[in-house]
Amino acid sequence: MKEKIGKYALLTFVWVIVVGYVVCSATMLHTHKAEQVVRSVEIEVADSSAHGHLVSSRKVREWILHSGISTIGTPVEEVNLAGLEQVITKNGFVSDVNSYVTYDGVLHIEVSQRRPMLRLMIDGYDTYVTESGFVFRSPAASALYVPVVTGSYRPPFPANYEGDVRDHIDKLLKASNDKIVKIEKEKNPLYKLEDSLRLEIKNERRRRTKQGWFEDDESFEARVEKLRAEKHRNIRRLRGALRHTDNLINKITVRSDAEYRVQKKLEKRYEDFLKLINFVRWIEDDQFWSAEIVQIDASTTPSGALELELVPRSGNHTILFGSIENVEQKFDKLMRFYKEGLNNRGWDRYSTINIKYEGQVVCSK
C-alpha cells in the first residue's frame, strides 16, 4: 500500500514539474515575443533563376515599403503577416507567399512566382500566360524569355485582366445565363395569353343557337347567319391576336438564341486559347522545333477560327500552319519536306510553305 502511494506521489510530482516547465516556457516565450522586435528581413524567391526575374527580393522590399506596413523595429507580436502576404500576392505573377518571424527576430518571406508558358504581344495586350491558363500583365522591364505570340488574335479576356481565364469565362457565362433566364421569363405572360386565346377560339367555334318554339324558319335562319358572321369576325380577331402573340414569343426566342450563340462562341474562343497554350507547350518540348521556330503569329479568321503562321530560324519563308489541329502530323510533314525538298532545292527558294491541308505541302515563291 505504501509502495502504491509512493508511486502515485512520484507520478504527481513528475507531472507538476512538466506542467510547471510548460507554463514557465510559455510565459518566457510570451515575454520574449513582447520584448523582441524584428531586426532583419530575409526574402527568398523560389526558382527565380530558372524562371527569370519577374519577382526579385528587391522588388518585394519595394512592395512592402510602399504598403506602409512596419517591419524592422516592430515588436514581433505586432507584425502584420497577413497584410504583408496580401500586398505581395496581389501581383499576378506571384503564386504563393509564406511569412513568419523566427525566435531571434528575423522576418522570413518566401515567395513563389508563376511560370509563364508564353507571352501575348498583340494589339493592346502585353500579357504572360501560364500553362494552367492563368494570365497577368507583363511587369515593366521583365527579363524573361518565353515564346512570343503576335498577330491579330483576340483572346477570350480583356487586356487588363489578371487571373484564371476559366474564372473569367465562367463569370461571363453566368451573366449570360442570368440574362437568358430573364429573357425567358418574358414569355410567361405571353404563354398564358396564348392559352387564353386558344380557349376563346375553341369556345367561339362551339357557340350554337337553337330555334325557339314559336320562331319561324326564316327568322331562325337569319339569326343563324348573323351568329355565323359574328363567330367568323371573332375567330378572325382572335387568330390575329394569337399570331401577334406567337410573333412576340418568337422575337424573345431569337434574343435567347442569340445569347446562346454568344456562349458558344465564348467557349470556342476559350478552347482555342487552350489549344494555343498546348501548341506552345508542344513546341517547347521538342528540341528541334523549340530552336527552329522564332515567332508565332496568330490571327482570328472572319469565321472566328484561330490560325497560325510560323517564322522559322532557317530560310526566308513563312510557314502557313493553319488551325491548331493535327499538330504532330503537320510538323512531321514539314520535317520530311525540309529533308527531301529544301535540302535539295535551297532554303531560300520559297516565300511561303503551306502545310494547312492534309497530305500535301503547297509552296509559293
d(CA 164, CA 157) in angstroms, rounded, equals: 10
- What DSSP element (H or E) covers 287? helix 287-292
Kindly list the distances between the CA atom of residue 104 and the CA atoms of 28, 57, 70, 75, 101, in Å, as whole numbers in the listed order: 14, 21, 18, 12, 8
d(CA 106, CA 287) in angstroms, rounded, equals: 44
**Coil vs helix vs strand at 22:** helix
pLDDT value for 32: 44
pLDDT value for 23: 47
8-35 burial by CB neighbour count: b if 16+ within 10 A, else e? eeeeeeeeeeeeeeeeeeeeeeeeeeee
d(CA 276, CA 256) in angstroms, rounded, equals: 30
Nearest CA-CA partner of 137 in 56, 47, 64, 54 = 54
- What DSSP element (H or E) covers 98? strand 94-101
Tell me how far apart the terminal alpha carbons of the chain are, to the nearest angstrom. Answer: 109
**Coil vs helix vs strand at 44:** strand
Place of cell 502545310: 355
Helices 165-185 and 187-206, axial angle in degrees (round to 10): 30
pLDDT value for 212: 84
Cβ atoms of residues 118 and 129 within 8 Å: yes
d(CA 24, CA 57) in angstroms, rounded, equals: 38
Architecture of domain 40-113: Roll (3.10)
Tens digit of each residue's pLDDT, the chain (365 residues): 555 555 555 566 556 565 554 544 544 445 445 568 888 888 888 865 455 667 778 888 888 888 888 888 888 888 888 888 888 888 778 888 898 888 788 888 888 888 888 999 998 899 999 999 999 988 776 667 888 999 999 999 999 999 999 999 999 999 999 999 999 999 999 999 999 999 999 998 998 888 888 888 888 888 888 989 999 999 999 999 999 999 999 999 999 999 999 999 999 999 999 999 999 999 999 999 988 898 999 998 888 889 999 998 887 888 899 999 999 999 998 888 888 776 666 666 778 888 888 878 887 77
pLDDT value for 172: 96
Nearest CA-CA partner of 129 in 121, 118, 140 = 118
d(CA 30, CA 24) in angstroms, rounded, equals: 10
Cβ atoms of residues 76 and 36 within 8 Å: yes
Q: How many CB atoms are closer than 10 A to CB 132?
A: 13
